[in-house]
Structure 1
Amino acid sequence: MAVWETWRDAMERALYGADGFYRRGERPREHFRTSVHASPRFAAALARLLVDVDAALGRPDRLDLVDIGAGGGELLVNLLERVPDDLARRVVPIAVEVAPRADGVPACVEWRDEPPAHITGLVIANEWLDNVPLDVVELTPAGPRKVLVEAGCGAERSGPEPSRDDLDWLDRWWPLRENGDRAEVGSPRCAAWSGVIERLDRGLAVAIDYAHRAGERPVYGTITGYRDGSTVPAIPDGSCDVTAHVALDACAVAGEQAGATAGVLTTQRAALRALGITGARPPLDLAHRDPRGYLAALSVAGEDAELTDPGGLGGFGWLAQSVGIAIPSVLADLA
């Protein structure tokens, strides 16, 4: 017998239930390519940002480095290899991940399933918010209705009216205009991001994700599945990752309400270029003077190009919000 659920309930069970996709230990690198896996240059850019945050905080004796949605821990490992020795001795790396601790993660990395209650330092949430479960609402001739899904096959049908809170969020951030239009109610992501900001005593939090802004929302939504490196139908049966793009502009307002004192919303392309990931090709004469050096520099330029490609990873959104410090000048200039 078919069981019909809201998309939020189905995603929660499929991703984080007892035998959910992430709960059982699936690693992102096995199913889709993130900036972390594309190049260590991504970690190098974030290491530069960590140095700036440390300076803004007055170089405290303890500097928290929190990776939310840490996957296999690769970002923290790569970051720790790229910070100055003095800073490395003061950094406390914390991986936040519901899956069991990944093999090969150094003992110095604390592994936990919830962020610390108090954080002073840098929080990175790379492709985390897109996996926070949320509901889908469709405009029907009878008005807005939640979309129900059957987990076994992904079939859908119309369900109950959304709550007043959901309708208020939609009216502000993703209004539905014509029958058949769909929206993904991003309030759970706003709440999740607020929870991060509330834990940040002093420092900077950065959310990096597939994103869209008001006025540019996709008419039919963005829910997608990923498995074994391929896009697959978003069937919430636990067999695949189920994801949806993030309304980072709404999260920015939620962060401000939670206590963020400054913020920047930009693209990965702009942010990484500000952090030194330029993609500039080496001069051709270097090929004659230093062929090996030329090939190495050309490889770096290729990695930079992938990370900043506006049609790919470079098109991701970056939301950086601070508490108790200014946004580092390298990012503040993008406001």
Structure 2
Amino acid sequence: MTNEWCGWREATERALYGPGEGFYTRAGGPGPAGHFRTSVHVSPLFAGAVATLLCRVDAALGHPGELALVDVGAGRGELLTEVLAALPDDVAARLRPYAVERAARPGGLDPRIGWHDELPAPGSVSGLLFANEWLDNVPVDVVETDADGVLRRVLVRADGTERLGGPVDGADAEWLARWWPVGPDASPGLRAEIGRPRDEAWARAAGTLRAGLAVAADYAHERAARPPFGTLTGFRAGREVPPVPDGSCDLTAHVALDSCAGPRAERLSQRAALHALGVDGRRPPLTLAATDPAGYVRALGTAGAAAELTDPGGLGGFGWLVEPVGGACAGLLAE
């Protein structure tokens, strides 16, 4: 890693995805699961819910001869592997599982899963596109108000040292004015993250569908409640650490999903989405313990995993952006 001054977007791109040296592209190691826990890693219930949603998409599209499941930010292929195991045979037989990931294909992966470092071509597939905790890793620039209340880009070096650069202008200033406004009388030190690259990345991802449903699940915030000091942080070996763009840690910032949303998109919490897909954290009845002790223990474990996935103070508070492409797949998450 070089140590020149640059914006956080450039530094993050290099630190996460630099060839041979990026956090996600470095050969070997445990992959993302060794550093942080996503819904996919909590329980197979999450993949089961995605499988349920995929079956709804399949039915809405009239059971096409080829059905796509595009997993954007596929990690080591965990979600696709578990979804394949959860699908009915007739759906699995028609499925084209499509992993989009900039890391190399892991060994031992199901040969049915296609592994690609780019999205499918625009309008080329029909089915479900699912992006779990992908947008928070799309690099963005960070800005901060100076002593005069002027928004300036934050420059950073690979060792994490920061200083303020030039004022924000052009399309980035327009994005901030609309989606993350910081007034001219703002106190020095207030921060924002320019989400415009994420808007564009999501539009490209959803645009790969000819028909179907595009879903993003991520840490999120809304315009009325943007965090005043930003959200950029790092993760390493399961612990939150300072965001240092040297390739040693994940770099992530919460997503302004409301700015990503297209005109037909729906936004809801993960709790509401998973409830609509049949994931319920209620404990099993105690009477089951007397009649089937082993079944009670299994049901209790399932309920605990479901509770973690739907906890409004944790994973259940994630935002889901649900965008139908074409007219057939609207309303598939209505309870």
Counterparts of 2:173 and 2:291, CA distance in 1: 64
User: Alignment partner of 1:201: what SS?
Assistant: strand
Letter of the structure 1 residue corresponding to residue 175 of structure 2: W
Deviations along 1:107-144, one digit per CA (max 9) or x if unpaired, are 11000001111121000000000000100011223411
Q: Is it true that 1:174 corresponds to 2:183 in the alignment?
A: no
CA pair 2-21 structure 1, distance change in 2 beyond 3 A:
closer
Map 1:1-335 → 2, pairs under 5 A: 3-18=4-19, 19-25=21-27, 27-117=31-121, 118-142=124-148, 143-152=150-159, 154-177=160-183, 178-179=186-187, 180-252=189-261, 255-256=262-263, 262-332=264-334
Contact preservation (8 Å) 1:275, 1:330: no
Letter of the structure 2 residue corresponding to residue 83 of structure 1: L
Letter of the structure 2 residue corresponding to residue 293 of structure 1: G
CA pair 103-61 structure 1, distance change in 2 beyond 3 A:
same
Counterparts of 1:246 and 1:219, CA distance in 2: 14
Aligned-pair distance for 1:75?
Answer: 0.2
Deviations along 1:68-109, one digit per CA (max 9) or x if unpaired, are 000010000000011111001000001000000012211110
Letter of the structure 2 residue corresponding to residue 224 of structure 1: T
CA pair 60-293 structure 1, distance change in 2 beyond 3 A:
same
CA pair 2-111 structure 1, distance change in 2 beyond 3 A:
closer
Counterparts of 2:108 and 2:45, CA distance in 1: 21
- Following TM superposition, where does structure 1 have runs of at least 4 consecutive aligned residues deviating by more than 6 angstroms? none
Structure 2: gaps of 5 or more residues: none
Bigger shift: 207-216 or 323-332? 323-332
Percent of matched pairs sharing the same residue: 57
Counterparts of 1:2 and 1:65, CA distance in 2: 40
Aligned-pair distance for 1:330?
Answer: 4.2
Letter of the structure 2 residue corresponding to residue 161 of structure 1: P
Count the aligned residue pairs: 325
Aligned-pair distance for 1:328?
Answer: 5.0
Deviations along 1:287-319, one digit per CA (max 9) or x if unpaired, are 001111111100000000010011111111100
Deviations along 1:163-208, one digit per CA (max 9) or x if unpaired, are 3111110011101131221100000000000101221110101001
Structure 1: gaps of 5 or more residues: 257-261
Contact preservation (8 Å) 1:147, 1:158: yes
CA RMSD of aligned residues (A): 1.3
